[in-house]
A and B are shown apart, each in its own frame.
Chain A
Amino acid sequence: MSALTAKQYKSDIKPVWCPGCGDYGVLNAICKALAAMELPLEQSAIISGIGCSSRLPAYTSLYGFHAVHGRALPVATGLKVARPDLQVFAIGGDGDGFSIGGNHFLHACRRNVNLVYIVMDNEVYGMTKGQASPTTPADWERSKLTPHGTQMRPFQPCAIALAAGAGFIARAYSGDPNGLARMIVEANNFEGFAFIQVLSQCITFCPEQKGWKQQIKPFGLDLPVDDPVTAANILHGDDGLATGIVYANPRPVWPGDSRKAEPQTTGELAGGFEI
């Protein structure tokens, strides 16, 4: 069988995202990465939570699961542990991943299951009409729920992923789908939990994000580093708009080798319940 084109990794279901939404770029990047890796459709799965960006699995022709709000990572973890032969991608937005699913994010970084987690970060709850999310700038006053801004320090996804133990940490921009495709390939080749924060503009509720095109730039350093202290200095010193793979340092994935001795067939599993 000849390799599939990026377009063939898309389904016939057409996205309902707003024109100008960065999530189109992420969908294109994912499909380009899948085509570049020549991943068979039946050997890959894409799991999401809830939100605009979490609609993405339906727009691909992979097996997918549109899970419960904030629970993309537990479902993806379960799938990868049950079916280690699959390439598993968890995806979602900043609200889904860092607020409702924030606790799962921390423990997924710590647990280090071999999967890729892509967060489309537009710094807003778009699907529910534009409320502040964990990554919203403190002085963002466009929502009537926070007329004086959130007055809270925004969540720092990459720095928190590092502190929680993620082995692969990157930041990308949806306006560079080819660069993001490359990053997804590298994340997929990484042995362990790989996290990519994608700055993906919401032009409807945050039209100021159109300016990202001019503001986003590469880290401009010799990256990735494998020293967590150096990575922490880089991540705490940047303005949140620099892109690149910051940190790559593999460590033992979960579950480890001991799991291989566990029952594999239904017969063996049934044996475990015998009195």
Chain B
Amino acid sequence: MSIRYYDEPGIFFAHALALEQEAAERLAETAQMMQVHNNNALVTLFQELAAYSLEHGNEIKELAKGIQLPELKPWEYDWPGAEAPESGDSGSLHYLMNERQALEFVLDGEQDAHSFYLLAVEKTEDEQVRKYARLFAEEEAGHVELIKTRLSQSADDAADDLEDLDPPNMPE
């Protein structure tokens, strides 16, 4: 039988750590993509969010001190989808995306991470896992609220349809 991420503390913390590390790498990678494509308005946003994920990863590492973490291969993680929940859907990125769309991309990831921990609270039979899953779910709920607040402050952008006024197709 394959592992379940909420069965025991070591496996749970290995997942929590990978979740933040993969999110940090995805966000840093996205910042770099936006830089390459001159969408400079979003570079700082994604860099800032990547730094938060890295920081949360370090906090989880501290909490996991003394717990034996298993070494899992990438495909051995028990993610609900194809990738770690907070990584977001990289296929939804676009070089013309605006701040609102970028925040929506991040919000999806934060909401998925929140659901991931809520499910662990509900399903686990291990008290230590439940305690930390509840804590992490609360943290993720806080992130969701933060992103929602930023979204509400973000200007409504008329170019939400991602239409490129200078499209890459050359006239032939």
Q: Smallest Cβ distance from B121 to chain A, in angstroms?
A: 25
Residues in B neighbouring A129, C-beta threshold 8 A: 168-170
The answer to whether A18 and B37 touch (CB under 8 A), given A144-B171, A178-B74, is: yes
> Is A176 in the interface zone, CB < 8 Å from B?
yes
Interface set, chain B 72-95, CB cutoff 8 A to A: 73-75, 77, 79, 82-83, 89-95
- Specify the main secondary structure of chain A where it touches its partner: loop
In whole angstroms, how far apart are the Cα atoms of A17 and B33 in the complex?
8
In whole angstroms, how far apart are the Cα atoms of A204 and B79 in the complex?
29
Residues in B neighbouring A175, C-beta threshold 8 A: 82-83, 89-91
Interface hit among B24-32, B47-55, B142-150: B24-32
> Is B172 in the interface zone, CB < 8 Å from A?
yes
Q: Are A179 and B75 in contact, with the CB atoms below 8 A?
A: yes
Interface set, chain A 196-211, CB cutoff 8 A to B: 201, 203-205, 210
The answer to whether A144 and B95 touch (CB under 8 A), given A16-B36, A179-B82, is: no
In whole angstroms, how far apart are the Cα atoms of A203 and B74 in the complex?
26
Chain A proximity mask over B23-67: 1 for CB below 8 Å, otherwise 0: 001000110111111000000000000000000000000000000
Residues in A neighbouring B169, C-beta threshold 8 A: 129-130, 142-144, 205
Interface set, chain A 48-81, CB cutoff 8 A to B: none
In whole angstroms, how far apart are the Cα atoms of A243 and B143 in the complex?
35
Q: Smallest Cβ distance from A175 to chain B, in angstroms?
A: 6
Which residue from A7, A143, A178 sits with its C-beta under 8 Å from B82?
Answer: A178
Which residue from B36, B74, B89, B97 sits with its C-beta under 8 Å from A177?
Answer: B74
Q: Are B83 and A177 in contact, with the CB atoms below 8 A?
A: yes
Interface hit among A20-28, A96-104, A267-275: A20-28
The answer to whether A14 and B36 touch (CB under 8 A), given A24-B90, A178-B75, A178-B77, is: yes
In whole angstroms, how far apart are the Cα atoms of A178 and B84 in the complex?
10
Q: Are A20 and B94 in contact, with the CB atoms below 8 A?
A: yes
The answer to whether A18 and B95 touch (CB under 8 A), given A36-B74, A177-B83, A182-B75, is: yes
In whole angstroms, how far apart are the Cα atoms of A14 and B89 in the complex?
20
9 nearest A-B pairs in the assembled complex, by CB-CB distance? A19-B93, A182-B75, A176-B82, A19-B33, A20-B93, A144-B172, A178-B74, A32-B74, A178-B75
Which A residues contact B (CB, under 8 angstroms)? 6-7, 14-20, 22, 24-25, 32, 36, 129-130, 142-145, 175-179, 181-182, 201, 203-205, 210, 212-213
